[in-house]
């Protein structure tokens, strides 16, 4: 599945059971919650209390088995974890508010897709240096020899992270690592755990792992295990602001663990997936703050900053109630973005409307695929639902409604742009051109004009993201 809002909240400890939620007890299995584990690995079901923290009871569920929960938070939530590593699998809920026979299924559909585990961790006032993100299970399966495989990913903060003083220009050498960065076992031991020939090399390990995970997943999985390679770069960072800043380097890290028959780790290999992501943050003391007013209803609210005729806006989300979002929230005209929504009534048709022009406050039907969808049993929009961005650049307001329930949001259609390198060139010189935010899979005609005469230079193609490629149309 793709990462939706509630899954992101559960992953980051921000999905509490409702305030005042009481623990429901049911001694009879006929009026209790059943967890049907269809994964080839055991799982742990952990209750989430009214603060979103993990709490008792913790119920283990063996691989491909079912287990009954005799107590839970009414209308609350539970997290599902991998007992061998603590990796996040999914969340369950809302759980019933009364003793009611309810079954939740945990299968391959519940796993997040590889490389789609959410953004890098962000600093807070309490923790300006965020910890590595939680491990997320993105695949699992059983090898031909019966060994179980667990694939997890997480964001790891790199030691290249640094600080910048006001108006500082810093040039420093950075190290980019790709490929296998750590293994608990020699190559031969890992191959033995998978039942492979000792002469197969890392290629055989990659093929075996990819095949095993793909057969047990809802999407194709490609795992490439190679020896570590290191590239040294020289990078320049500029802090032109008046306050201090710091740069955090993040690496998407892939961990494949081989489990024995009891579900305990037997061997593992850790792979760094390039490129590293650089995020700039302002040091505390330079950050303006405000207190969220009491009485704001759950949902999305618009925060506006004004200075004379200039304005800037950002979304503020109050937890609870229906909530919709786009991933990403911007793109080129005509591109498809993921539409995510949760907190609505289940099994109901949903309607998506968008402004007919930026800022018009007049709405029309948005282009959504597939057409005619209904909300899932947990009140979410079905995974894989996409929205096609309008053709004109600008900021648009959208709203998703199910009956009388509604959630609003915004999106941005980027204006096309091109970059010439070099921008100063005489007749006969070769100039490289790059471009972005054009309609996907379209033709871009490049021409030059002196203000009076226009001369066509070349027709180029765009890819499915709207970027100008080097291919002529």
Q: Which pLDDT tens digit goes with each residue over 78-91?
A: 999 999 889 999 99
pLDDT at 472: 66
% of the chain residues with pLDDT over 70: 82
Domain boundaries, the chain: 5-110, 136-282, 299-413, 417-472
pLDDT interval class at 284 (50, 70, 90): low
Q: Which of 58, 64, 28, 56 is nearest to 45 (CA)?
A: 58
- Model confidence at 206: pLDDT above 70: no
pLDDT at 471: 64
Q: Express each pLDDT in 224-245 by its tens digit.
A: 444 444 555 556 777 776 677 8
pLDDT at 390: 93
For the record, the structure tokens of 169 come out as 């220009």
pLDDT at 140: 85
pLDDT interval class at 325 (50, 70, 90): confident
Q: Which of 282, 172, 175, 280 is nearest to 236 (CA)?
A: 172
Residues 6+ apart with CB under 8 A from 167: 239, 240, 241, 242
Residue 187 burial (CB count, 10 A): 19
CATH label, 5-110, candidates 3.30.70.1290, 3.40.630.30, 2.30.30.30, 2.60.40.780: 2.60.40.780
Q: Which of 436, 441, 355 is nearest to 392 (CA)?
A: 355
CATH label, 299-413, candidates 2.40.30.10, 1.20.120.80, 3.90.1010.10, 2.60.40.10: 2.60.40.10
pLDDT interval class at 200 (50, 70, 90): very low
Judge if 5-110 and 299-413 fold alike in CATH terms.
yes
- Model confidence at 126: pLDDT above 80: no
- Model confidence at 197: pLDDT above 60: no
pLDDT at 182: 42
Of 162-176, 193-207, 220-234, 413-427, highest mean pLDDT = 413-427
**Bridge partner list, 60:** 44
For the record, the structure tokens of 43 come out as 């799982």
pLDDT at 235: 64
Please, are residues 139 and 217 in contact by the beta-carbon 8 Å criterion? yes
% of the chain residues with pLDDT over 90: 21
- Model confidence at 127: pLDDT above 90: no
The mean pLDDT of 338-342, rounded to a whole number, is 85
pLDDT at 223: 46
pLDDT at 266: 78
Q: Report DSSP state, residue 116.
A: -
For the record, the structure tokens of 170 come out as 């810093």
Pick 170 or 435 by higher pLDDT.
435
Q: Express each pLDDT in 385-394 by its tens digit.
A: 999 999 899 9
Residues 6+ apart with CB under 8 A from 421: 431, 432, 433, 434
pLDDT interval class at 269 (50, 70, 90): confident
Pick 426 or 211 by higher pLDDT.
426
φ, ψ of residue 244 to 5 degrees: the values are: -70, 155
Pick 36 or 182 by higher pLDDT.
36
DSSP-derived pairing of the beta strands 136-142 and 43-48: unpaired
Query: Which residues in 310-391 belong to E strands, given as ranges?
Result: 310-318, 323-327, 330-331, 336-342, 351-355, 363-365, 368-369, 386-388
For the record, the structure tokens of 450 come out as 């002196």
């Amino acid at each position: 599945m793709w990462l939706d809002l509630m899954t992101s909240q559960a992953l980051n400890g921000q999905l509490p059971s409702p305030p005042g939620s009481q623990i429901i007890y049911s001694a009879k299995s006929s009026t209790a919650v059943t967890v049907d584990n269809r994964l080839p690995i055991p799982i742990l079901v952990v209750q989430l209390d009214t603060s979103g923290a993990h709490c008792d009871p913790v119920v283990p569920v063996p691989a491909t088995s079912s287990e009954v929960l005799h107590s839970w938070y009414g209308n609350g939530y539970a997290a599902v974890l991998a007992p061998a590593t603590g990796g996040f699998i999914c969340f369950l809920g809302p759980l019933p508010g009364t003793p009611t026979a309810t079954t939740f299924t945990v299968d391959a559909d519940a796993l997040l897709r590889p490389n789609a585990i959410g953004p890098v961790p962000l600093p807070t006032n309490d923790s300006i240096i965020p910890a590595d993100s939680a491990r997320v299970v993105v695949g699992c399966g059983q090898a031909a020899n019966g060994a179980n495989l667990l694939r997890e990913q997480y964001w790891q903060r790199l030691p290249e992270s640094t600080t910048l003083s006001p108006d500082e220009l810093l040039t420093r050498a950075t190290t980019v690592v790709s490929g296998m960065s750590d293994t608990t076992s020699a190559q031969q031991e890992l191959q033995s755990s998978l039942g492979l020939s000792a002469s197969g090399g890392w290629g055989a390990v990659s093929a075996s792992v990819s095949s095993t995970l793909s057969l047990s997943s809802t999407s194709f999985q490609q795992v490439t295990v190679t020896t570590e390679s290191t590239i040294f770069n020289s990078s320049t960072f500029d802090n032109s602001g008046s306050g201090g800043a710091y740069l955090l380097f993040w690496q998407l890290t892939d961990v494949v663990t081989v489990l024995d028959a009891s579900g305990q780790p037997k061997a593992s290999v850790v792979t760094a997936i390039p490129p590293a992501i650089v995020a700039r943050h302002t040091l505390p003391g330079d950050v303006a703050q405000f207190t969220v007013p009491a009485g704001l209803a759950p949902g999305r609210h618009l925060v506006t900053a004004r200075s004379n005729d200039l304005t800037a806006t950002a979304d503020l989300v109050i937890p609870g109630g229906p909530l919709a979002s786009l991933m990403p929230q911007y793109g080129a005209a005509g591109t498809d973005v993921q539409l995510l929504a949760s907190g609505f009534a289940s099994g109901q048709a949903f309607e998506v409307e968008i402004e007919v022009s930026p800022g018009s406050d007049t709405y029309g039907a948005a282009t959504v695929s597939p057409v005619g969808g209904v909300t899932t049993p947990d009140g979410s929009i079905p995974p894989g639902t996409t929205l096609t961005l309008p053709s004109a650049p600008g900021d648009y307001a959208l709203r998703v409604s199910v009956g009388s329930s509604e959630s609003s949001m915004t999106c941005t259609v980027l204006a096309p742009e091109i970059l010439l390198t070099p921008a100063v060139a005489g007749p006969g010189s070769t100039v490289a051109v790059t471009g972005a935010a054009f309609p996907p899979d379209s033709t871009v005609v490049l021409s030059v004009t002196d203000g009076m005469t226009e001369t066509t230079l070349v027709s180029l193609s765009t890819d499915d993201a709207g970027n100008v490629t080097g291919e002529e149309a």
